[in-house]
Amino acid sequence: MPKRNYSRAELDARNRYNKKAYDSLSVRFPKGKLAAVRDAANMMGESLNGYIITAINLRMRLES
């Protein structure tokens, strides 16, 4: 499927929505670890973001 070119207005609207609806966090991995995490997410059929959120939620449940 060809990549779609979004207009400046569409990008601005998406950025405004994301800023209002989501908090963000930058995560740093040791060299090589990101590829391993991305592969694990792909094996589970999840996005990298979804995989990390699931892992955090499981850990928080275990610790509460």
Rounded Cα distance between 4 and 21, Å, is 24
pTM of the model: 0.74
Please tell me the predicted confidence (pLDDT) of residue 27. Answer: 93
Please tell me the predicted confidence (pLDDT) of residue 35. Answer: 97
15-63 pLDDT per residue, tens: 999 999 999 999 999 999 999 999 999 999 999 999 999 999 999 999 9
Please tell me the predicted confidence (pLDDT) of residue 39. Answer: 97
The SS3 assignment for 38 reads: helix
Please tell me the predicted confidence (pLDDT) of residue 37. Answer: 97
All domains in the chain, ordered by first residue: 26-64 (1.10.1220)
Please tell me the predicted confidence (pLDDT) of residue 4. Answer: 86
Rounded Cα distance between 44 and 51, Å, is 8
